[in-house]
Structure 1
Amino acid sequence: MKTIKMTIAAIALASVSFTGFAADLVNSAPQQQQQIGVVSAGGASNLSSLEAKLAVKAEQAGAKSFRITSTSGDNKLHGTAVIYQ
């Protein structure tokens, strides 16, 4: 029983820490942030998974936010995003 409580607590803490550092998806260039580059991702089966892949790439690049600029593909989607800090 104690192991289950510890596991649930660890999962809750891990999810809180990850969401605190995630890059935010924005619809336009943020006023208080500078463009720092572009990231791309591919092989996604739908738009949600492509957005998630771009979010991971933006976070790995140290971005605070990202804006998706293009998507393409039929069965496997590819997309690019501008990243900001």
Structure 2
Amino acid sequence: MKHFVNLLPDAERELTEIWLAADDRDAVTEAADRIEKALAHDPASFGESRGDGSRISFAPPLAVRFSVMVDDRRVDLGHFWQIADRSR
């Protein structure tokens, strides 16, 4: 079953700012799409858990912090930041 991926306002603003400032906007768009697809499919196994109940994951050039509401089948994306893409 799929999960609903909910982009919270702060995360939406951060992602927009990253995209606007990016040298390679396609890479940012593709990373955001990879994140959304992974979270919709199986969010509990995507990324690493954190002590506060949230999780983080990396899809260069993006990183994301999110929370999984298992009973609601919902994922809240709370924070995006940019990371270096070491594969290039």
TM score, norm. by length of structure 1:
0.29
TM score, norm. by length of structure 2:
0.29
